[in-house]
């Protein structure tokens, strides 16, 4: 399923967060959103999963304006793994993962054998089965992330949005997470802080700066030192990766 942002503008008070951003994400592709803090990348994704209504413009999922969809219809099209979630509820990790099946349930939402099978498979895939029966609030940050990843995998939506999910993840889990979601073959959009993760896992990247889309294209053609240095305020050099492609090495550190 494709996802299309058309002329998205978002104003908050007197500040323009996004300025007339248009972008089409093709079915089955992985698109990374790169930019410094405050560039608008997370806000743009929020317009797709309806947390932040645009001041102007619209987002379309499979040709349907997401603002016109019911909550269930929207969830059947788009699954979201956000960087923050409230843990103030008395659910186990397995029950949180089962929430991913709610859009597909009818009546009183009883868990079917298929729902249970899908959730158990997702828990195994993300390595969360060992702590799935503990309360979600008692889990560590990394354990919570694995449960939340299981939830979005169990949701089986054709579009998956990762809204800065790797912020507090260790390096191993960052790669594990991106491998799992990109291997599923759906349409994936991810706000990322690490340029090299985008080079490793994304087909295409969209670079935002001060609320505007400044570049969009294949990851290798867009994430070159000149653009990365200008937008992110770093000094970088491209290095050949012995596994194929290339990576960027930074001469000095910055926070994206």
Q: Which residue ranges form the domains of the chain, and what is each CATH number?
A: 3-250 (3.40.50.300)
* Rounded Cα–Cα distance for residues 190 and 186 (Å): 13
Asked whether the predicted pLDDT for residue 28 surpasses 60, the reply is yes
Of 16-25, 86-95, 101-110, 235-244, which gets the smallest average pLDDT?
235-244
β-pairing, 56-61 vs 204-209, is unpaired
How buried is 255 (Cβ within 10 angstroms: 0-12 exposed, 13-18 middle, 19+ buried)? exposed
β-pairing, 30-34 vs 204-209, is parallel
The whole-number pLDDT of residue 241 equals: 61
Phi, psi of 231 (to 5 degrees): -80, -40
User: 116, 123, 48, 118: which is closest to 82 by C-alpha?
Assistant: 48
Segment 126-166, tens digit of pLDDT? 999 999 999 999 998 889 989 999 999 999 999 999 987 66
Phi, psi of 85 (to 5 degrees): -150, 145
* Rounded Cα–Cα distance for residues 114 and 192 (Å): 33
pLDDT band at 244 (very low <50, low <70, confident <90, very high): low
* Rounded Cα–Cα distance for residues 1 and 210 (Å): 29
The whole-number pLDDT of residue 256 equals: 45
Asked whether the predicted pLDDT for residue 245 surpasses 80, the reply is no
Beta bridge partners, 240, equal 246
pLDDT band at 66 (very low <50, low <70, confident <90, very high): very high
Percentage of residues in the chain with pLDDT exceeding 70? 87
The whole-number pLDDT of residue 242 equals: 55
User: 179, 170, 120, 117: which is closest to 141 by C-alpha?
Assistant: 170
Strand segments, DSSP code E, in the chain are 3-12, 15-25, 30-34, 56-61, 64-65, 78-82, 159-163, 187-191, 204-209, 212-218, 236-240, 246-250
Q: Which residues contact 243 (CB under 8 A, 6 or more apart)?
A: none
| Cβ neighbours around 40 below 10 Å, total | 26
User: 72, 28, 31, 34: which is closest to 50 by C-alpha?
Assistant: 72
Segment 172-204, tens digit of pLDDT? 888 888 999 888 889 999 999 888 889 989 999
| Cβ neighbours around 173 below 10 Å, total | 18
């Amino acid at each position: 399923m494709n996802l299309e942002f058309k002329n998205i503008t978002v104003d908050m008070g007197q500040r323009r967060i996004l300025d007339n951003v248009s972008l089409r994400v093709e079915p089955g592709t992985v698109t990374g959103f790169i930019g410094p803090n405050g560039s608008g990348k997370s806000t743009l994704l929020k317009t797709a999963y309806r947390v932040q209504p645009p001041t102007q413009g619209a987002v379309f999922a499979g040709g349907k304006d997401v603002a016109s969809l019911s909550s269930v219809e929207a969830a059947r099209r788009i699954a979201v793994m956000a960087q923050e979630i409230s843990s103030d509820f008395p659910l186990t990790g397995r029950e949180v993962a089962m929430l991913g099946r709610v859009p597909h349930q009818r009546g009183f939402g009883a868990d079917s054998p298929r729902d249970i099978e899908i959730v158990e498979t997702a828990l195994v895939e993300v390595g969360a089965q060992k702590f799935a029966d503990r309360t979600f609030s008692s889990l560590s940050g990394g354990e919570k992330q694995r449960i939340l990843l299981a939830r979005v995998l169990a949701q089986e939506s054709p579009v998956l949005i990762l809204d800065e999910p790797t912020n507090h993840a260790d390096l191993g889990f960052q790669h594990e997470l991106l491998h799992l979601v990109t291997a599923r073959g759906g349409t994936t959009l991810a706000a990322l802080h690490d340029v090299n993760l985008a080079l490793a896992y994304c087909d295409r990247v969209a670079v935002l700066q001060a609320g505007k889309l400044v570049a969009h294209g294949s990851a290798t053609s867009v994430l070159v030192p000149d653009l990365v240095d200008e937008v992110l305020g770093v000094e970088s050099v491209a290095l050949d990766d012995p596994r194929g492609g290339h990576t960027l090495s930074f001469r000095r550190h910055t926070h994206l």
